[in-house]
Amino acid sequence: MARNNEYKKKIGIIGCGTLTTEFYSKVFPNISTASVEYVCDINKSLSTLASKIFNAASVSIEELVENSELVIIATPPQTHYELVKKSLKPNNSVVCEKPFMVNTKDAEDVISISENIGSSLYVAHMRRFYPSVQIARKLFATGIFGKLLKIGIYEGSRFKYKSVSNYVANDKTGGVLFDSGSHCLDMALYIAHLTDSKIKIKVNNVKKDQEEPSHDIFSCFTIQSNTSEIKCELLCSRVKFLSNKITFIFENGQIDVPTSLENYIRVCGPDGITIINSPDQLKNLTQVYCKQYKSVINQNNDQIIEAKQFINLTTLLETIYNHESSLINE
């Protein structure tokens, strides 16, 4: 428990929808070194509700940015670029909810601005803190299975998220690709250490159930890094149940990583199948969010979600999104 005289970092949240009122409301009471002091939303009823939940002031964006040490942007993706630019100031921190930006140019621009102005910029891809992701990434780094040949990414379930703005049904970037697709694609890149240096992407085909925002997407693409060429297959849905795993196929083995919050991975090698459990036993998403924000607030392991880590993901999403597509049922 925090001592009464312990300093708390002042947080301002832009966007008072479901993520803020139902998730962040459970997270920040568990972080003793921070306090949500300001909230803002173009929908005044939502900002009023959030102000009551957090016992915070409902203010303008300008006032929020001026007085907050950490600004969190929890709004639809098309708004991220302008809001991030408005939120950056010397010596503050900005956390942008996923997906970061809808194109690489905007991502590189805000990263450059943040570096020049002296602001710390992060992207809230909290799945990087999943225990399964961390142990898979460490195992991958050993090189024990040899060259990575293929990545299969499969995630699907019934969509239940209560989006207040309904952008997932109306916005062209509200489809499954930028929604859950950005999460599982980021897991794949991060585990395979494909986030630090520039990669080349060649998309072979894209199939969707409808024009954006789509609910089903299938794509085959190739990632070329400095050391290898990796074939990839993506299948994401928010209307069908899929295997919900990422499969990494190597020369001498295979790693299966659940896309949901789990504390284990499944490894297939020359000696058979092994389940590897993580000592870090996170039980729910509140604990994951707490771990993410503690890393930013306390500047402990915060490089995991530094914005520059998400250039390749943004490029991959943009490339798949802009590739000519056909309908799945054609």
Local confidence pLDDT in tens for the 330 residues of the chain:
344 567 899 999 999 999 999 999 999 999 999 999 999 999 999 999 999 999 999 999 999 999 999 999 999 999 999 999 999 999 999 999 999 999 999 999 999 999 999 999 999 999 999 999 999 999 999 999 999 999 999 999 987 767 677 777 788 899 999 999 999 999 999 999 999 889 999 999 999 999 999 999 999 999 998 888 999 999 999 999 999 999 999 999 999 999 999 999 999 988 899 999 999 889 999 999 999 999 999 989 899 999 999 999 999 999 999 999 999 876
Residue whose pair of structure tokens reads 């139902």 in the numeric block: 22
Q: Identical fold at 9-126 and 127-282+306-327?
A: no
- Residue ranges of the alpha helices (H) in the chain? 18, 25-27, 44-54, 61-67, 80-87, 104-117, 131-142, 167-170, 180-191, 285-297, 311-322
Residue 213 burial (CB < 10 Å; 0-12/13-18/19+)?
buried
User: 80-104 burial string, b = 16+ CB within 10 Å, else e?
Assistant: bbebbebbbbeebbbbbbbbbbbbb
The whole-angstrom separation of Cα 286 and Cα 290 is 6
Q: Terminus-to-terminus CA distance in the chain, angstroms?
A: 59
Domain range summary for the chain, segments of one domain joined by + = 9-126, 127-282+306-327
Phi, psi of 121 (to 5 degrees): -115, 130
Report strand pairing: 229-237 vs 120-124. unpaired
Phi-psi region of 91 (alpha: psi -120 to 50; beta: other; left: phi over 0): left
Residue whose pair of structure tokens reads 């600004």 in the numeric block: 71
Task: Tokens for 21, please give them.
Answer: 């009122």
pLDDT tens digits for 317-327?
999 999 999 99
Is the separation of the CB atoms in 14 and 40 below 8 Å? Answer: yes
Which CATH number does 127-282+306-327 carry? 3.30.360.10
pLDDT tens digits for 261-278?
999 999 998 889 999 999
pLDDT tens digits for 8-62?
999 999 999 999 999 999 999 999 999 999 999 999 999 999 999 999 999 999 9
Contacts of 36 (CB under 8 A, 6+ apart): 11, 12, 13, 24, 28, 54, 56
- Please name the fold of domain 9-126: Rossmann fold (3.40.50)
Is the separation of the CB atoms in 312 and 189 below 8 Å? Answer: yes
